[in-house]
Structure formats: structure tokens, C-alpha cells
Structure 1
Amino acid sequence: MSEADLLARIRLIRSQSIGPITFRQLLLRFGSAEAALRAVPDLAARGGGRMPALFGEDQARRERDRVEAIGGRYLSIGQGLYPPLLAEADNAPPLLTALGDIGLLDQPMVAMVGARNASAAACRFARGLAHELGREGTVVVSGLARGIDAAAHEGALDTGTVGVIAGGLDNFYPPENERLQRAVAERGLVLAEMPPGTEPRARHFPYRNRIIAGLCPGTIVVEAAPRSGSLITARLAAEMGREVMAVPGSPLDPRAQGCNGLIRDGATLVQNAAEVLEALRPGLGRVRSQRDLFSAASEVPGFAGTTDEPGEAERRTVEELLGPSPAPVDEIVRLSGLEPGAVQLVLLELDLAGRLDRHAGGKVSFRQGE
């Protein structure tokens, strides 16, 4: 990745109205971040909105310099160092900042998450399970939170662990885990989607959870209350087609209700490393066989390389099919009778104009107030 390309990618993803899906579609259509940046003003104008505020080149240089000063580096989607399994997710982060041993991303991985206010027994179990998985050559991925996350990292420090954080690489959250995060960076790997200097906010944690789930062919939940962040990670993993595993607990402990509910709903019950590896075996083979999935996994059918330029009538047709309730893009294509590339371009224009919301499952809606 050249300096110009990196700076353009930083500018693109940090710009207003450009999220992971929009970023990916812009690169697929225009071939480079630099070309996409040049195209954004015209696309937004055709979408009937104001020009989105573009991240400046000087701002991008300052961010790049700050990452390098920390000792970190960028991983960009579509390029060789980017985690291949994560690239399959349609909302995978276009840029990650990384501090530590990048080579861990080429090894088999499993996510382990659980309660922040975990019981002592559950923390001991998570620590021991992570250690055993590490001895079998599996890298343990977690979120550097209190409780189960911290125990999982501690158990796998000697064998390989990846911590995914909600803030920037230079932020330590929770503060009491600063020593652990530094140890993971020195002996394992820390990944962040947010730029340096970012303090995590509530909305950042689901973003982090999708990365944890996306990196791995399987996710283990050790202890979790209902409606916890750990269950969000498990749900995201299931939506990506990954294995969801849960450790059973006492029905008398509220912190076990989430895991027991997962098992009831079809998650794989696991009690030791051997059972985890057995459940992971099909997915681990799949990871080793796939590399550079940017085009294969993220290409929107009929979109990349299309020369379709929709006219006003086509734009009106697509807009009339949109409403406040999320609708699948493929349904909009079917009902409009238009080429997929033309529909995707109209949606891209509306997105850049700030008039479109994108939802999970490939659904879109008009932004509230439109």
C-alpha cells in the first residue's frame, strides 16, 4: 500500500456519511480510494443532498503519524495482511490499526467472551480453557474487558492472543486493564477500528463485537446474563454463519442464563478444549484455504465495474420503493425491474447525500425525516 493510497483510504473512511459498506462499494466501483474521493461530491449531488464533509489530507497524515508513533500499523481490506475471514463480513472495517504480532492473524483463531462481573469459578475456567486452546495451536481472541475477556487473554498470553478494543490503540479501557492491554500488545496483538485518541463510547462496543466475531470461525460464551454484550457477539457470529459455543452454568445463577439460553436455542455445548476444537474443525480448514477475499466476498452482484448510469426516472423508481421501514436491497432490485448496478448506484448516491440508512442483513431505508 503506497503512502498516497493509505492516506486516501484514511480520508475516505473518516469522512462524513461513509461507513464500511459505502467504502467497499466505492472502491469496487472506482478502483481506488483516490478515485472514490474525487467522485464523492458528484455522487452526493445526484443523491439530492449536501456535500459530505471529507476528511482532510493533513488530518489523515496526522493520524498516520500518530499510529506510527505508537508503533502500530494499518491493515486495509483487500490487501494481504487483512484478516481473511473478517473480510467476508459485509460491514467489515475497511481499516484496522494493529499493534503487536501480525503473524497471529494467520493462525487458527477462536473468540472467547463473557460477563464483565463474572464469577471467580467462571474466570478460572476461561483462563484454563484459553491456556489449553493455546497449547493446541489456537489463538484466543477477546475484547480486553473485565471478567471473562481478561481471564481469556491471561490464559493465552504465552501461546497467542488478540485483543480487539473499542477505542484507539492509545486508549486503555477499562483503566484497570492497562497493564494487561500492554502485555497483549507486547506478546500478542491489539486491534482497533477507531483512530488513535478515541475514547470508547457505548456505540463503539457493538462495532468491536462484530470484529471479534468476524475474525474467528467460532465464538465461545463462558458466562453471560440475558441481553449482554456477549450475547450480541454470539448473535453476530451466528449471522455470519460461524459456530456459536456456550459453557453451561447453574440455572440458579443469573450470569449463566445467557449461556443456557444459547444452548437451548442451538448453540454447541462445550466443556473443554477438545470439544471446542471438534466444533471448530470444519471452520478452521476453511480459514486456511482462503486469502484476499475482498472481491470474492464483498462484491455486490452486478455493481463492480458496471457502466450503468441511472436517469431521473430510474432514480424516482428506486426512491419510491424506499420508506422508513428497512427493505432488502434485492427486493428493491426485483420490484424496480432495473439492473442491480443501477439500483446500487442510486442507493450509493442517497447514502452519500445523507438520505439513506443501511441496516443489518442487506436492508436499507430512507433516513428519518426524508
Structure 2
Amino acid sequence: MANANSLSQLALQKFKKNFWGVLSFWFVVLGVLLAIFAYALAPDNSQNANQQHISIHSKKPGFKATILTIPSKLEQEQSFLDKLLFGKEDNSTELPIVDYKFEGESIIVTPYTDESIKGLPKTYSFASFPKGLTKTEIESQFINEQTFLLGTDKYGRDLLSRMLVGIRISLSIGFVAVFISLLIGISLGALAGFYGGKIDAAIMWLINVTWSIPTLLLVIAITLALGKGFWQVFIAVGLTMWVEVARVVRGQVMSVKNMQYVTAARALGFTNGRIIVKHILPNILAPVIVISAANFAAAILIESGLSFLGIGAQPPMPSWGAMIKDHYSYIILGKAYLAIIPGLGIMSLVMAFMLIGNALRDALDVKS
């Protein structure tokens, strides 16, 4: 045990000396924190950051607009935790305006429009707002200037809010897909490597068949079989990523199953299950950890590709891949940032996990 602890400490020290590995690790930690507190940080904290303002669509980063909010009379009570995890159930209407004035018990506003023709004035009575509010209170609570730091998308939604909420999809698909791949891959790989014979032949046949099918094609087939949706994509990606884990685990188990400590465990009468779980697997986890980091990055790319094809996370759920799909045509219209910003998000997150994987490989001194 002392030796194991000393090896772990040595690996940790080697990892800490890898600048890019440590930087990527803290970048991923930042991404996880942003994902957890996305709705608390997002300017648009409605569910899926889906508050649309069609009149101010496709605006450049830093665009400012005066927004009139008409509150909904169907507001529902929500706990703080519910708002933090799922966003505010906001049924209010937001209207970008150019100017406004009060007349009697009404407010007259001029809607924002891109065209040279001035928007037709709209009148809202004080009955549209909570009772008992004065003009000053209505002005301070329901009329405010918003700055869209990353601009707006083609539906007039705040791009920064969509990016913050969208990171949840990318990180979630990574965690779930890696968990499923580890669960299946370690189980089948350990069984094949430990028992050999017909069990090994059958599992290897399954591995080779799965490996021979293009990953994206297999994911599409599973997704279509399970249906379009959030969790279906998670399961589909996870079911395609276990193969490499199983092959590595099988090879590692075959190389250590005749070691002296395994022989000693057999002599003590331990069951095969206990020998595999308690003695073999803890000693072969190093390469599995490295593969998991690479699989995490691959899962993010696959999900982005599926969302780009329209069979990933479904609208209005924000997905970086779907955001690229919605705006890739804007690249030739002088608004390339609408596709570049989510593309940079995907690239930076994938690169961070790849760099972490490289750093772990060096720290654990894994030879593949």
C-alpha cells in the first residue's frame, strides 16, 4: 500500500510539472463551474436561454438595446435550486424598443426595427404590469438597457447565454459516455483477458465487429433506433466508445493474470471475481485513465457532429454543434462569428482534454 501511495505521489508530482496539463486541468474545472452555475451567470436565465428578440437578430458582439419586459400573469413559483439547474420558467415577453413615453395610464413604445421605416407605436396599459406600480417603478423594473457581449443569434437570442448553457451538453455527454464505455469496456475486457478460451473468442468477435463499423454511422443508427433526444445521444455515444477500453483492459489483464500476487490470491482461495476486482483492475487503471481522457474529447466531437446533422440535442436546447449548424451560412454574409464562437468553444474543450490525456500519459509512464 505504501508503495502504491508513493507511486501515486510520484505521478502527481510529474503531472504538476506539465504546464499544459495543469493549465488544461484548470480550464476544464472552470468549464465545469460555468456549466453548474450557467443560469446564475447567463444574462438570459430563461430555460434553455431561449428568450427571442427577432427584431435584433444577428447583431455583432457588444450590441446594446433597450428592452421592455411585459410580465406574464402565469408566473410559477420556483425554488432557487430549480432555477439554478433548469433556468427560470419565464413566460414574459421582451420587446426591443427605440423610445417610449407615458400617457395617462399607458406607456407608448416604438419597437426597434432594422429598416429605415420607423416601427409602429404600441400601447400597453398599466394593467399589463403588477398592480400599484408608479411610472418610475415601471420604468426602473421593466425597462432596461441590455448589452449582448457576444451578440445575438439568428433568432435574436443572447449568444453568451446560449454558450454558457451549451457547455452543459458537451461536458454531460463526455461524463456519461465515458462512464458507459468504462462500465462495458472494463467488464468485457477483464472477462476476456482473465478467462481466455471461448469467452475471449466471443468477446473479441464482438469487439472486432463493433470496431469495423464507422463510429458516426453506428451512433446515427443507435440514435435513430432510440429516437432523437438528449439522453438517447448520451447512450448512443457511450455504446460506441467501449471497444478501445475493452481491448486495452484485455491486454493488460492477460499480462498480469500470471503475476505472483494473482497466484498468491488464488492460493488463498479468493474467488475469480474478487481477484479481478480487488487485485487485477487496480493495477491496470493507468492506461484506462489515459484512454478515458481521449474518449471524453471524442465524445464531445461526436455529439457536436450529431447536433450539426440534426440528430443530437433537439431545439431549443442549446448545443454548440447545433449553433454551428444554424449559422454556418452566415460565414459568407460577414457574420462568421456566429459560427466561429461555438466552434472555438468545441475546439478549446477538446484540446484541453487531449492535453490532459497527454500529461497523464507522461505522468503515469504508460506505454501503449
Structure 1 or 2, whichever has the larger Rg, is: 2
Q: How high is the TM-score relative to the length of structure 1?
A: 0.20
Q: How high is the TM-score relative to the length of structure 2?
A: 0.20
More helix by share: 2
